[in-house]
Chains A and B, each alone.
Chain A
Amino acid sequence: MAATEVTETPAPVVAPDAGKRRSLTGYVLILPAAVWLGLFFVVPFYSLLANSLFDPNGSVLTGYKVTYHFANFWHALSDYHGPLLRSLWYAGVATAICLVIGYVLAYAIAMKAGRWKNVLLVLVVAPFFTSFLLRTLSWKLILGDNGWVVNTLQAVHVLGSNGRLLATPVAVIAGITYNFLPFMVLPIYASLEKVDGRLIEAAGDLYASPIRAFGKVTLPLSMPGVVGGTLLTFIPAAGDYINAALLGSPNQRMVGNVIQDLFTTTGDYAAAGALSVILMVIILALVVFYVRKSGTEELL
């Protein structure tokens, strides 16, 4: 980028009176949003932060006191780095698969579906009409050891006669991919929908083959959707625990499962809080890095 482009926007010059009045109106207008954020983000966030700094010797029954026990983070990290890394890995793989499938799907719907567009969109969203849990449970049936998927794969020798899908990383990643696919498809669809078909014609007119036209025009113009979709998929996928719980085995335990167990079963709020904060920080760092890299800072 040229150095001449870096410019400071000067503060607008306003009469002092007008400024005061306007800023007051502004505050009143953001009040509902501020209250909402305060109630549903700031308070829970502080609560989580407090949890992470609890005295680890407390208990649910006798109470937990905030003792600023920063060692909780270290302990959580050393005890649970396995599930933490596994979560990021599974979420990353699932997001990548979602991106490929989701892009093709969104492209087909936006560009090729014609009058079937709305029907296809409803079909993409349709799984949301049943509960997340039920959908995942039905995958348990589909991927069951004596289900047709496993039987077929065994018949064509992709799986050994004793092979299985349930309770493997494959099942967990497949479950995450399935459950979060709509979050990938919809943003990509929305940005592909906005791509002006005349630009693609123009690219063709300017000697770009359909593949080059896609690479040079369609893909760059759909980047906001791609970035939005990957974030909407990766972030919840990294914290997901349903898929690992229902489709995986203890060997596929993800950080969400650990946190859930620590909060509910063991009642170890200190470790649970610390692990949650660690997960949050890691995801935040990854998101910032990714968005910077992909050149879509305006999303932040």
Chain B
Amino acid sequence: MSQVPSPAAGGTSEGRDLELTQLTKEFASFTAVKSLDLVVPQGSFFALLGPSGCGKTTTLRMVAGLEQPTSGTIALGGHDITRTKPYRRPINTVFQNYALFPHLTIFENVAFGLKRRGVKQTHPQVQEILQLTELTEQAAKKPAQLSGGQQQRVALARALINRPEVLLLDEPLGALDLKLRRAMQLELKRIQTEVGLTFVHVTHDQEEAMTMADTIAVMNAGVIEQMGSPAELYDNPRTTFVANFLGQSNLVGGKILGADGDSVVVDMQGTKVSVPRQRAHSTSGAGWVGIRPEKVLVAPQGEEIDAPGNHMRDAVIVDASFIGVSTQYVVKMPWGQEMLAFEQNTGRRGVMAPGTKVDVSWRPEFSFLLDASQDVGAGREDA
């Protein structure tokens, strides 16, 4: 009992990171998590992002102690807690379905953790957290009498009140409608900043992860594909999975010709394009040249393109969807591939109708280069 640091402790002292080493979980028929190594720095908002079945929830449950790892260790601030019982870990969870106790009032739900730890005077703390989560009015109600958003806040308050060293959030916003979800995302971020705890947030929603997290780990099939800040992951994906799962990408096949100074030159369907070296994740053989749709510029044939880079001619618009802030074009390239291009509706030009012959261009420094041995469709939502 005594080896485990009190959850109230920790505070501001450095080095209470959550560290997963070689963590593996095998179930009877498959391996959910494969030899995972991960360090979540103290005080960070960390997101585990991935499609369902990628092992992110299993990872979370192992951290919470609800699942025993097959091998590997979990350490918190240097203490090995791999075999510590869940009720002795300074870690709390906001469950996907909230798991509120239906027979207790909101007040009692929130006070549950404090009471179990023998805190006599729960009232002030509960009032405080209810205020923070704007639930003061609901204190005497039962969970069933609350709306989804309110229940979500109760689940959050119930976990937060314990001041855990690590707060785990398992798809906490999944059950909410879009508008509420947006509001709660900002709310969660605000609270995290306010209380300064380590948040580990599991989600399959890349937008949610990018909105809230300092660091995102993209998980796929039990391993972490790539980890970094949202901007890093977005601008410089290392795998087709990340490129497709996090936002959208145009991936065009090409032949890598070799390095040229700070860039790598690729023969992309007859056009020579250069990719900055730090964004080239392959240096020989075949490769995928990747470019985000909003970086692709389109202009009617012959017209000057604003910021010219690699020029490709003889493309045709096949589809145009006007969505207010931008127009999304599907452009058929001369070699037959369809590419996405998003254009800001700055008012400079109207929507180009399908059938319009266009030129296509993008700045080489925005593109990235991936190994062609990877599945081009990995991580696509419609895949």
Contacts and interface: CB of A to CB of B under 8 A. Distances in A.
A touches B in complex, CB < 8 A: yes
Interface of A: 2, 5, 196, 198-199, 201-209, 212-213, 216-217, 220-221
Contacts of A208: 87, 112, 116
Nearest to A197: B99
Contact of A205 (B92, B102, B103, B117): B92
A205 B64 contact: yes
Interface string B126-154: 00000000000000100000000000000
Contact of B95 (A198, A213, A220): A198
Contact of A212 (B100, B103, B116): B116
Closest 4 CB pairs of A and B: A202-B99, A207-B116, A206-B113, A204-B86
Contacts of B87: 204-209, 213
A196 B95 CA distance: 13
Given A198-B99, A206-B159, A220-B103, 20 more contacts: A5-B140, A199-B99, A199-B101, A201-B66, A202-B99, A202-B100, A203-B101, A204-B66, A205-B64, A205-B86, A205-B92, A205-B93, A206-B92, A206-B158, A207-B113, A207-B116, A208-B112, A209-B87, A213-B87, A221-B102
B82 interface: no
A203 B102 contact: no
B95 A207 contact: no
B99 A207 contact: no
Nearest to B97: A198
13 contacts: A196-B99, A198-B95, A199-B101, A202-B95, A204-B65, A204-B66, A205-B65, A205-B93, A206-B112, A206-B113, A206-B159, A212-B116, A216-B101
B162 interface: yes
A2 B102 CA distance: 19
Interface residues of B, number: 25
Contacts of B85: 204, 209
Contacts of A212: 116
B116 A201 contact: no
Interface string B113-131: 1001100000000000000
Contacts of B162: 206-207
A201 B88 CA distance: 13
A198 B98 CA distance: 9
Contacts of B101: 199, 202-203, 216-217
Contacts of B117: 207
Contacts of A196: 99
A216 B86 contact: no
Nearest to A1: B140
A112 B93 CA distance: 25
A199 B104 CA distance: 12
Nearest to B89: A205
B152 to A, nearest CB: 14
Nearest to B93: A205
B99 A216 contact: no
A5 B145 CA distance: 13
A204 B101 CA distance: 12
A266 B181 CA distance: 77
A188 B116 CA distance: 26
Contacts of B64: 205
Given A206-B113, A206-B116, A206-B162, A221 B103 contact: yes
Contacts of B103: 217, 220-221
A196 B101 CA distance: 10
A209 B113 CA distance: 11
A30 to B, nearest CB: 29
Q: Which of B92, B95, B116 has the most CB of A within 10 A?
A: B116
Contacts of B66: 201, 204-205
B109 to A, nearest CB: 9
